[in-house]
Chain A
Amino acid sequence: MAVNFRSAFSQIVWLQVLAVAATSLVMPIAIYVFLERTVADYQVKMLGERAQVLLKAMTPGPQGRVMLPSSLTEPYAQEISGFAFSISDGGGRLLISSATDRLALAPLPATRASQMFRRKTGKGAYVGVSVPEDFHGQPIWIQVEQNQDNPDVVLDDVLARFLPAVIGLSVGVLLFLLLADIFIVRRALGPIVAASGLAGVISPTRMDLRLPTKRMPSEILPLVEAVNLAFDRLEHGFRAQRDLTADVAHELRTPLAVLRLRAESLAEAQLRARILADIDVMTRLVDQLLSVAELEMVIIAMDETADLHLACLEVVEHLAPLAVKQGKAIELEGSEGPVWVHGRPEMLFQAVRNLVENAIRHSPTGGAVTVAVEEDGVARVLDRGPGVPAELKDRLFERFWRARRKERSAVGAGAGLGLSIVAQIAEQHGGRVSVGDRPGGGAVFSLVLRPAPRGAVVG
């Protein structure tokens, strides 16, 4: 059975549990067996010594029997001592025994070598030894046994108590070790888990992050350093791209200025107006390109806050004369006091301004653009223009999104980068921008931002 472990931690834990379980079983049993052997050896030795004592005290008796002094045999005869002996000849005939039934204690071994025997009767469990000896040239068997149940016999009782105790103790100790191990492994894996979490946060808006190398296990360190190096290259690539965009945009400005001056001196009024309008479109695009490049590397700190209401107010103030000049109106409504959100004031201003410029562009003459600020950090820009078809709603915020002519007229060719900048700013603020239909006709652009506690650090 091969189980596939996805997690190093669970792999370590499960295998440790198995090892601990196996050890918990095997160790006590092994110890027990060893101890039991030792006890048995000791008993055999002790009984063997008794057999020698008997041998030395034996004297031949009538009819081939043997005789033992009663001082020696008396303890055996008393049941309370727990000892018994029997001596048989080579053929198996009982010569003398302490047992009342006058039988050999146990069957004699087949080979002439010392052997241990055990027997159990209603009176108890006996351990004994059969020792082959020579007595005046005749082979005899001396058997001595001891009743284990006798209170004087301590060893087996100790052993019996020993096993559950040692199992309990070893299981306890091993369990503790297991828990300690789990804690240790967790701790060792800690930096790796943390680094993984951090790696997940890295994004274009947070290009400055690097994985920590302090406390990183040496096995993982090369990997982490390689990842950090990759991030360095990524950041470098982003910066290079941004700088290129910015440089190109800057370089375009002077030729555009030259072009504009030449165009201004054109005699034909209509042609001049058209060309100047085209140059303005190009200029706005250049401005937006620079905006995008600058925004790309912006990182908003956790504690930067801005007043959304103020940003909207400033946008409306700034664009009102322009709107009126085009025969359109613009108004501000909603929350009257500050609306604090996480973010940077000038970026919020830019986002709202782009939305409002877009709304003004699509409003009919005589129409009004409404900017509404809500207390939970939402700014909405509403217009009475043609609205946005359902299938275009998501694509509006893409950069340089190409529209078919029909769609372009619905949304306007001047979209360019403006809305994608709004989306970019929204993303960097941890918010989002979306467009929906306005009841009664037109579009509603919603800029949703993260509310912040009242007036922390103002950016």
Chain B
Amino acid sequence: MRLLLVEDNADLAELLLQALARHGFTADVMPTAGDAEEAVSSAHYAAMILDLGLPDEDGLLLLKRLRKQGVQMPVLALTARGSVTDRVDGLRAGADDYLVKPFAVEELAARLQALMRRPGDLLGEQLTVGDVSLDLQSRQVLVDGKPEPFSAREVDLLEILMRRAGRVVQKAFVEDHLFGLNAPAGSNAVEVAVHRLRRRLQGLGARATVHTVKGVGYFIAETKA
């Protein structure tokens, strides 16, 4: 996967190249907006990492221009500016993701991979957390590679939580999507369902745990080692 790295700081560019290489990416480095624009028009790249603080032009202006010209390549903006307004401006200008310096290379790599996933993947044929994977078409759940029986309700709940793996899903949201119009009386139904799912996963020794955040909701995450 060839990337375009637009960065004017030579040290940073070199270190990034090395780090990206470790994660299986190769990249061309362009130190100015002008060079970047030329590179984009003359070669094809899987994605662009764009530092917004360039010497000859604001990275956002370059990005807006490229988008206007019809460049659809995924762009991850890299910057020292991290306020909410800056993020919003970046995303509005056409960035697909926004990373504030300094950052962990792990995160950069993960986000790049997320950006470059093909549309089919984004729709998610399969969800994975830890060693639990859910096939959305067949509604089959695999724990550590082995298929395990789960009730339809449990699968639905797993889907809701795994779609937002690592982030909290509010109780009302779970209630709406799990029971829909058939919501049983009393708010205990969700609690009970979550409790049962948690026990089930624990019983199977799965490396994914369902957590309750009292007063807010629930989330599923890879079990802490």
Q: Could you list which residues of chain A lie within 8 angstroms of chain B, going by C-beta atoms?
A: 250-251, 253-254, 256-262, 264-265, 276, 279, 283, 287, 290, 294, 313, 316-318, 320-321, 324-325, 327, 329-334, 346, 371
Q: 5 closest Cβ contacts across the A-B interface?
A: A332-B215, A331-B214, A253-B80, A261-B15, A257-B102
Q: What 6 new A-B contacts, CB under 8 Å, besides A260-B103, A261-B15?
A: A254-B9, A261-B19, A313-B216, A316-B213, A317-B167, A331-B216
Q: Does B177 contact A (CB under 8 A)?
A: no
Q: List 25 A-B contacts (CB under 8 A).
A: A251-B80, A254-B53, A254-B80, A256-B101, A257-B101, A257-B103, A260-B104, A261-B12, A261-B18, A261-B105, A264-B19, A264-B104, A265-B19, A290-B83, A313-B215, A316-B213, A317-B168, A317-B213, A320-B219, A321-B167, A321-B219, A330-B213, A331-B214, A331-B215, A332-B214
Say which residue of B11, B16, B82, B166 sits within 8 Å of A287 (CB atoms): B82
Cβ distance B83 to chain A, nearest Cβ, rounded Å: 7
Q: Which residue of B lies closest to A371 (CB)?
A: B215
Closest to B165 in A: A321
Check B81 for interface membership: any CB of A closer than 8 A. Answer: yes
B189 to chain A, nearest CB (A): 18
A327→B84 CA distance, assembly (Å): 29
Q: How far is the CB of A376 from chain B (nearest CB, A)?
A: 19
Verify B102–A283 contact, CB threshold 8 A.
yes
**Which residues in chain B, 11-70, are within 8 Å of chain A measured between CB atoms?**
11-12, 15-16, 18-19, 53
Known contacts A316-B213, A324-B211, A331-B213, A294 near B83 by CB under 8 Å: yes
Asked whether B224 is an interface residue with its Cβ less than 8 Å from the other chain, the reply is yes
**Complex CA–CA separation, A260 to B78 (angstroms):** 15
- Whether B113 sits at the interface, judged by CB under 8 Å, is no
Q: Which residues of A contact B84 (CB under 8 A)?
A: 346
Size range of the interface on B? 20 to 34
Q: List chain A residues, Cβ under 8 A from B15.
A: 258, 261-262, 265
Taking a contact as CB atoms under 8 Å apart, the answer to whether A258 and B82 are in contact is: no
**Count: A-B pairs, CB below 8 Å:** 93
Instruction: Report the nearest A residue to B15, measured CB to CB.
Output: A261
Q: How far is the CA of A53 from the CA of B105 in the complex (A)?
A: 135
Report B17 CB to chain A, min CB distance, Å.
10
Q: Do residues A317 and B224 form an inter-chain contact, with CB atoms below 8 A?
A: no
- Asked if B81 and A250 sit within 8 Å, CB to CB, the answer is yes
Kindly list chain A residues whose C-beta atoms are within 8 Å of the C-beta of B82. Answer: 287, 290
8 Å CB contacts to A: which residues of B135-168? 166-168
Asked whether any CB of chain A lies closer than 8 Å to the CB of B217, the reply is yes
Query: Do A279 and B102 touch across chains, with their CB atoms under 8 A apart?
Result: yes
| Residues of chain A contacted by B104 (CB below 8 angstroms) | 260, 264, 276
A329-B224 Cα distance, complex, nearest whole Å: 13
Verify A258–B83 contact, CB threshold 8 A.
no
Contacts of B221 in A (CB 8 A): 321, 324-325
Q: B170 contacts the other chain (Cβ, under 8 Å)?
A: yes
- Give the shortest distance, in Å, between A295 (CB) and chain B (any CB): 11
Taking CB atoms, residues of chain A closer than 8 Å to B19 are: 261, 264-265
Complex Cα gap A264–B84 (Å):
27
Q: Considering the chains assembled together, what is the distance between the CA atoms of A166 and B11 in angstroms?
A: 100
Contact B83 A259 (CB under 8 A): no
Q: Which of A294, A321, A327 touches B168 (beta carbons < 8 Å)?
A: A321
